[in-house]
Amino acid sequence: MSFSRTGDTGSAGSSTPSDATFRIQDNSDATKQIAFEASGISTGTTRTVTMPDSDVTLAAGTQLANVLEDTSPQLGGNLDVNGNNVGGVTPTEMGYVSGITSALQTQLDAKQATITGSATTIDTESLTASRAVISNGSQKIAVSTTTDTELGYVNGVTSAIQTQLDAKQATITGSASTIDTESLTASRALISNGSQKVAVATTTDTELGYVNGVTSSIQTQIDAKIADVVSDGSPQLGGDLDLNGNIISGVPAYAVSVGNTANVNSSQGDNAITTFFYEIATCANAGDAVTLPTAAAGKVVVVANNGAEDADVFPASGDNIDAAGVNAAYSLESGTNVMFIAQDATDWDTISGGGGSGSITTNGLYEHAHTISANYVITTNNNALTAGPITIDTGVSVTVPSGSTWVIA
């Protein structure tokens, strides 16, 4: 290596050459030179570079001054060791102190050197998964045969399980022994049977529901009702009895309706009769109509035509009067009356009363039934004529008052 000096930077033989002219050249290639730059040193200050007793290789950007002389050097930024060790410590080992928040030795001293208690069985070992954990006979932590699922079954238990089990009956021996595993027939009332066991009755739950609301013995109440009807010699109704078109056996229903007007134009169903006696007060046209109720054996209806014209009396739909034909009307002459007697559920017979022309009809003939099946009283001072032979049903009577005559021809 050689030194070179360029320019006049001081007196000849000066030991302080200018850093602008002082160079160190490579001994084999003069174009390779080292230059010193002192402009960064404070004015009036001399900085000394002291070499260690070893070879030194300077890397780009390396500053040695503060590192060697400063007893408490500080880095101006992160130190990149470039994969090298620092004081024998590798970069990986240096990384282990990352995240330490207090003195490492203090923390180490506070730790137990060796685990010696019950946890020695799990300081390095792993327990069997999903098992209940116990302390074994050696006072160490261990797993039991009980799984975590089985352990979960005791959740919600509020007292000793064995005590609760001991308090339960081991086997059902009483009346419930017939239903401890068996199922009852659905929708039945329950009873205790002859063996004192729970059993089903033949009574359904629907039938059992019929006694809901009963306030005293049903039989006693039933017996009291029958007594009132059969035994009472003078029973009384609490209100009007609606026969609904029917009759009470042996008792005529003498409901009366008067002042009625026959319906204009003959039509079955017009002016339905609902009473025992029905008066047609107005019949403006021949054939104006009224209609009998539905026939029922023993039912009796008397119709009087006090209107100016002959009226048509229709049976209810499907019924027959004097066998004249189903739904055929009976012509009731003006000024006459007739008794209609139902012999069954569809057929009516007639018995004519007095008034008007008596036995004269528009056809020149008079017809009547050959059986009298209902009690009849001839109107006082009227005479009655019957074409014989005639039969009077058992228990039926015809009353001829004083001043009247009944002739059977």
Domain boundaries, the chain: 1-43, 256-368, 370-409
**Mean pLDDT confidence for 379-401:** 86
295-313 tens-digit pLDDT: 999 899 999 999 999 899 9
Q: What is the rounded distance in angstroms from the CA atom of residue 214 to the CA atom of residue 297? A: 38
pLDDT of residue 352: 73
Residue 8 has pLDDT above 90, yes or no: no
pLDDT of residue 321: 93
Contacts for 176-181: CB closer than 8 Å, 24+ residues apart: none
Confidence of residue 22 (pLDDT cuts 50, 70, 90): confident
Residue 2 has pLDDT above 60, yes or no: no
**Mean pLDDT confidence for 227-244:** 67
Residue 106: other Cβ atoms inside 10 A: 8
Q: Which fold has domain 256-368?
A: Jelly Rolls (2.60.120)
CA distances from 215 to 212, 218, 228 (A): 9, 8, 20
Give me the DSSP letters along 239-265.
Answer: S----TT--BTTB----EEEEEEPBSS
87-120 tens-digit pLDDT: 778 888 888 888 899 988 898 888 877 888 898 8
pLDDT of residue 148: 92
Q: What is the rounded distance in angstroms from the CA atom of residue 68 to the CA atom of residue 51? A: 10
CA distances from 228 to 218, 223, 231 (A): 16, 9, 6
150-196 tens-digit pLDDT: 999 999 999 999 999 888 877 888 888 888 888 999 999 999 999 99
The overall average pLDDT reported for the chain is 82
> Who has greater pLDDT, 86 or 215?
215
pLDDT of residue 178: 87
What is the pTM assigned to this prediction? 0.32
Give me the DSSP letters along 13-60.
Answer: T-S---TTTEEEE-SS-TT-EEE---TTSPTT--------SS---PPT
Cis bond before residue 389 (omega within 30° of 0): yes
Whether 304 and 316 have beta carbons less than 8 Å apart is answered as: no
> Who has greater pLDDT, 271 or 7?
271
121-158 tens-digit pLDDT: 888 889 999 999 999 999 999 999 999 999 999 999 99
**Mean pLDDT confidence for 78-84:** 76
Confidence of residue 356 (pLDDT cuts 50, 70, 90): very low
193-221 tens-digit pLDDT: 999 999 998 999 998 899 899 999 988 88
